[in-house]
Structure 1
Amino acid sequence: MARPIWSGILSFGLVSVPVSLYAATENHTVAFRQIQRGTSDRIRNKRVNERTGEEVAFGDIVKGFELAEGEYVVVEPDELDRISPGRSKTIEITGFVDLEQVEPIYFDTTYYLGPKGKEYGKVYTLLQRALEKANRAGIAMFSMRGKEYLTAVRSENGILTAHTMHFADEVRAPRTEIPTLPAAGSDTTAVSDRELAMAQQLVDMLAVDWNPENYRDTFEQKVHELIAAKQAGQEITAPEAAPAPSNVLDLMDILGRSLESAKTASTPATGDAKAAAKAGAKSAAATAKNSRTGTGSKAGAAAGRTSAGHQPKDARGKKSTSTRARPATSATGKKTGTASRRRQDLSGLTKSELYKKATAAHLPHRSTMTRDQLQTALEQTGHGRHLRSAS
């Protein structure tokens, strides 16, 4: 169970509710120890007096604001609390805003807000449902760990969340900070209508629905793979080369090839879906016809004996020495049994799991594919069963 990182009073108007603040996210960065090269000796950081070199206890360390070299104003921790006694224990909502008016750059960290006790559930629910119906966020100020925060309190998925925000003077002006930004209307930013239309078409072709479960920290995974490889004494492969910058002179050609690539990635899945639908309809019709004529029972029994592991007899009445059942053949003469089994192997996997298999199979354009397209592409390349067993 998570421990609260702050507790206080959340208030709006004359209504107040004791709340606790909880971290809404966690960091999965791989943790390393610092050791001396060639040994297993840990490296420790110590707080030492710069002049004497002696270690200083944590309780003997205070904050100092430097006025001049060697001259400081000393500030004790409780003195910082004294100048903001109310805000250090209160999140006081002073107004409600439409979040669509707030630019994303102002948001910093998200926290969960929970009632401090079950007896405060009614007041907590009152504020949560009021914010949900109004589709607004309460703007408040509060202090935590010696710093004051601008905060937006909103209702999300039936609970209250608090988003700490940057103050206006903390947001940098991009035109000042980035000297290479192209000036609007200059010759270097002139874009033709055809270029813009092709770029918009490419954006539309690669449009996806937002699903955070489809995205993973691939670098963290690679770090774990690196550690496992080094532990096993394996050779570390070189990373993939970064893509080269687009040549402005060949921009139309690049856009055209990008569109063709996107079409190639999406076309096979569409074709397979139609073919599968037709094959399914034919199979269903054949099954229905066999059941009416009675021929299906014999075929079904034969298929059952084969799938159960009995060896089929050949034309001379002898048992075949092969222990593998032959795949079924469709009306067009193509073998369908193996592909069907691959589809069954992959059908229960998520998009992220399919993407990992596509990466291992070096499938091109995998980053632009939907889940169904990834499955179809893996089935077509024959990696379905092999990759499942290897995962």
Structure 2
Amino acid sequence: MPRPVWSGAVSFGLVTIPIKVLPATENHQISFHQYHVEDMGRIRYQKVCALDGEVLSPDEIGRGYEVSKDTIVEITDEELDNMPLPTAKAIEIVAFVPADSIDPVRIGDSYYLSADGAVAAKPYVLLRKALERSSKVAVAKFAWHGRERLGLLRVMEDALVLHAMKWPDEIRSPDELAPRTVDLDDKEVDAAISLMEEMTTDDGLEGYRDHYREALEDLLAAKAHGEKPPVADTGGKPEETVVDLMAALQQSVESARASRGETTGEDGKDASVHDLTGHAQKKAARAKKATAKKTSKTAKKAPAKKAPRRTTA
């Protein structure tokens, strides 16, 4: 596991849970450096004072806020650390809300919360089980990296996960982006739903790969070994551009079925975006499968009933 990025506590009413915060994701992006093309010397950056041109070392650099052109308020690390914030040392839970009430556009970086020490185990599991049973998520506030943040705390498997969130005033409105007047008939909507059903999968996201990174790795490996780098295949007949929306949906459905080795619909006829009977059957089968899994899981967790206690006169 990665090293903790922060240590503190989760504040849940009067309950305090000592925790360590660890990154939940990792970046596999390939990074480049900048070089001088003529001699491949590495490009370096220096921090220079704008007034005297002197190159400064880190201990000569402070932070400040420009109140006006001629007035700068200097701020020290000690002053920032001593600000009277209840969230400076703890992740403070302020509310519980339904999970579907949080729009994904608010969610940013994700972190795992690890119980810090034996004393934290019981309250950690208590909060986790309470969230599981209530089907809610916690809204929290915490102060990291020089600012107070809003967070979402939820359960993932047996762990608590913290997602950093944007404040309400940081979310831009999409009101002016959507087309106002569009003529659509029911057949076109049904066709789109038909395509969605053909593309629906129960396999999750595990099979998806970053093809750009893989191609970049191949390019770097080839050049490192003095080989000719691979190039994109530009041959072949270009696909025809489909202007008609229904025709585009029809071709998309046929392409989705062909990718699975299917050439006809479930009723034996040619694939058609107008016949939704097969899709309804698929949907019902998936729902039945999900219900069976849920029932099985519930049966495993259901505690045995205790015999009623007898009373004596």
Contact 2:219–2:229 (Cα < 8 Å) also in 1:
no
Task: After TM superposition, list the pairs within 5 Å mapping 1:1-391 onto structure 2.
Answer: 1-176=1-176, 178=177, 181-183=178-180, 186=181, 189-231=182-224, 232-238=226-232, 248=243, 250-268=244-262
In structure 2, the CA distance between the partners of 1:51 and 1:14, relative to structure 1 (3 Å rule), is same
Matched pairs, number: 262
Q: Relative contact order (alpha carbons < 8 A, sep ≥ 6): 1 or 2 greater?
A: 2
Considering fraction of residues, name the structure with more strand. 2
Query: In the alignment, is the contact (CA less than 8 A) between 1:84 and 1:143 conserved in 2?
Result: no
CA distance in 2, matches of 1:109, 1:40: 36
The 4+ residue runs of structure 1 with deviation greater than 6 A are 243-246
Query: CA separation of 1:46/1:240 partners in 2, compared to 1, >3 Å: closer, same or farther?
Result: farther
1:237 alignment partner AA: V
Q: State whether residues 257 and 263 of structure 2, in contact with CA within 8 Å, keep that contact through their aligned partners in structure 1.
A: no
Indicate if the aligned counterparts of 1:132 and 1:156 stay in contact, CA closer than 8 A.
Answer: no
Per the TM alignment, residue 235 of structure 1 is displaced from its structure 2 partner at its CA by 4.3
The amino acid that maps onto 2:216 is V
RMSD value over aligned CA atoms?
2.5
**TM-score in terms of structure 1 length:** 0.62
Distance 2:251 2:115 in 1: 55
Instruction: String of CA shifts for 1:338-390, please: whole Å, max 9, x gaps.
Output: xxxxxxxxxxxxxxxxxxxxxxxxxxxxxxxxxxxxxxxxxxxxxxxxxxxxx
Change (3 A) 1:141 1:245: farther
Change (3 A) 1:240 1:132: farther
Kindly provide the amino acid, as one letter, of the partner of residue 26 in structure 1.
E
Contact 1:34 1:43 in 2 (8 A): yes
Distance 1:268 1:102 in 2: 39
Corresponding position of 2:276: none
For 2:26 and 2:233, the matched residues in 1 are separated by 28
SS of the residue corresponding to residue 52 of structure 1 reads coil
In terms of Rg, which structure is larger?
A: 1
- Quick one: distance in 1 between partners of 2:70 and 2:56? 18
In structure 1, distance between residues paired with 2:229 and 2:209 = 25
Q: Which residue of 2 aligns with 1:377?
A: none
| Distance across 2 between alignment mates of 1:56 and 1:244 | 58
The amino acid of 1:224's aligned partner reads E
